[in-house]
Amino acid sequence: MNNKISAYNFITFLTCLTIFFSINFTLPVSAEPQTETTTEAPSVINNYAEPSKQLEIGSRACILVDAETGVVLYEKNSRERLYPASITKILTGYIACEEGNFDDTLTVSQNAVDTMGEGGSNIGLVPGEEISFEDGIYAVMLESANEVCGAIAEHLSGSIPAFVEKMNAKVKELGCTDTHFANPHGFHDPNHYTNCYDMSLITRAAIKNPDFDQIWGTVSHNIPATNKNVERYLHHKDKMLRPTSDYYYEYAVGGKTGFHDDAGHTLVTYAEKDGIGLITVVMKDDSGKYTYSDTKTLMDYGFTLYHDAELFNADSYHKNVPVVQEYNGNEYNVGAVDLSAANSITAKVPNFITQDKITIKPDIAEKLNPPIEAGTAVGKINAYYNDNLLGSVDILPLGSVEALTEKQLSFMELKTNARRFIIFSGKLFIVVFALVILVLLIDFIRKLFRPKKKKRKKKKKKKRKNPNRPSGSSNPPKKKRPANGTGPQKKKSSSGNTAEHKRKSSSGNTAEHKRKSSSGNNDKPKKKRPAPGQYPEGRREPQNTDELHRRTKSKTNATRTYNDDIYGVPMRRRSQHRK
């Protein structure tokens, strides 16, 4: 009975304990995946051919690009920063094909083995082992050998860090904006990242190198026995290239796989069909189930989007261009040539690229240099969709232009200088002639207006000197000179002399002479006193010399009056005369 009670209590205890742990530990575990999915940013998907259609893509990011033009057909989170893993080796292999010598011997150093990363893929090379440089590239692209990446980096740049700097400079040159590499093989590093779009740019550049294109599309390769090991057999890790694989894709030309825990599964593939080349980049497939299926989905969809189109008609381009030749720092026109397009531009383009979205840009100089031969290309006509080059055609001259000899150019220089001198002389003559005409015109205008001013001044002077202008009259009558024998006559005395003469004789000097002597002005004409009996009514003749002298001295007064003239008309004050 006690045993049954003890067993019952033990079962009850276990039941309570199970309920306790299920409440406190099971719920957070079940909520953990939900927290992870909520922190992931929503996907950005662009289907440029059919905006309303979305493909079934299980990977976090992908892109489908035209390999020839770079036109993006489909993308999902293609600009999101992710870890590339071993697809980094596409750039390593590309630089090796561009700069390396395939006949060189590649020696593996201890540093190359030590820096390949713990658990990194390799082909088992040991320090001091030697292989050919070409075999090293095959090992990198087919078997993803990390230690060979280090050996290539040291061989080309002297050290792995120096080679990494070259890699980062290269990606900037290719137009990558969010890519940075920390090693040549892609082993995980927080500072080693890229995105799908940048990887497509790197791949487009790499496949244009024929050596790279051949190597990364090779399914298998043998490395002969080395100084340290026996012969090695290499097999491509990309299952889409292997005919025996379930993921084999008949249009695949080349590819590169990648994987580590932080990056997930990554894959870059290049395929061709009916003259159309496509590049796909798939990144961040954590499960590994979607890498190949996503690539096949993208490829199959992309090949259905193309159609044949005429981008440019050759008959629409005709141009005449001058031909110049340089001599002594100057250009001389030696002729002209007519140009035309070699043929029209036709290409397979995505169906969303219509004629109105295509831009034609001729690439030719404004002036050509001889010699020019008919039928030899002198430029190109390019057809663009946005910044993507869709196709091009040569520009051909319809005639030929020979280069001139030095003697001919010297004579042409002489003629040109003479022509310039004549033109300069003519311009100078025109300028001088215009200046002369201007000076003469100014002088004529001055003379035209100067006489009028002088006449006005003379009139003013006459007005000032006229003593006979009556008060209140603006234009007084001119004083007329008396005719001969009609004016007042001097009375002669009985002795035959005039009274005037007697006064001059008795005094020795006339009063007029005294006034001129005292004022010192001998230039003014002398005014004669009127003869006796010639004074007008109301005026009497001076009785003696003192009275005459008093009258003549009246100029010194403040009001200052003029003497009577010969007609006896009283002079007005100077102030009144000026008014």
Residue 511 backbone phi and psi in degrees, to 5: -65, -30
Same domain for 359 and 424: no
Same domain for 272 and 134: yes
CB 362 within 8 A of CB 317: yes
pLDDT in tens, 522-561: 555 555 555 555 555 555 566 666 666 666 655 445 444 4
Pick the range with the lowest mean pLDDT from 139-148, 380-389, 460-469: 460-469
Same domain for 233 and 123: yes
* CATH number of the domain that residue 384 is part of: 2.60.410.10
Mark whether 407 is an active-site residue: no
Overall average pLDDT of the 460-475 stretch: 52
Q: Which of 304, 338, 362 marks a domain boundary?
A: 304
Same domain for 316 and 179: no
* Active-site position among 86, 121, 157, 200: 86
pLDDT in tens, 115-125: 998 888 999 99
Assigned domain for 70 exists:
yes
Assigned domain for 362 exists:
yes
Same domain for 99 and 212: yes
Same domain for 432 and 391: no
Half-sphere exposure at residue 489, Cβ-oriented, CA atoms within 13 angstroms: 6
Assigned domain for 36 exists:
no
* Active-site position among 59, 121, 144, 200: 144
Total-model pTM: 0.66
For the chain, the domain total comes to 4
Assigned domain for 160 exists:
yes
Same domain for 340 and 293: no
pLDDT in tens, 227-253: 999 999 999 999 999 999 999 999 999
Q: Which of 423, 445, 465 marks a domain boundary?
A: 465
Same domain for 564 and 428: no
Assigned domain for 209 exists:
yes
Q: Which of 261, 277, 304 marks a domain boundary?
A: 304
**Alpha-carbon distances, residue 513 vs 482, 510, 524, 551, 555 (angstroms):** 25, 5, 12, 14, 15
List helix spans (H) across 466-569. Answer: 499-507, 511-519, 545-552
Mark whether 86 is an active-site residue: yes
Q: What is the pLDDT of residue 330?
A: 84
Overall average pLDDT of the 257-266 stretch: 95
Helix H or strand E segment including 294: helix 291-303
Same domain for 248 and 210: yes
Mark whether 504 is an active-site residue: no
pLDDT in tens, 62-91: 999 999 999 999 999 999 999 999 999 999
Same domain for 289 and 212: yes
Q: What is the pLDDT of residue 414?
A: 84
Same domain for 282 and 165: yes
Assigned domain for 475 exists:
no
* Active-site position among 76, 78, 89, 256: 89
* CATH number of the domain that residue 217 is part of: 3.40.710.10
Choose between 130 and 493: higher pLDDT.
130
Assigned domain for 353 exists:
yes
Task: Give the range of the structural domain holding residue 358, as residue numbers without chain letter.
Answer: 311-397
Assigned domain for 491 exists:
no
Same domain for 105 and 237: yes
Give yes or no for residue 161 having a pLDDT over 60. yes
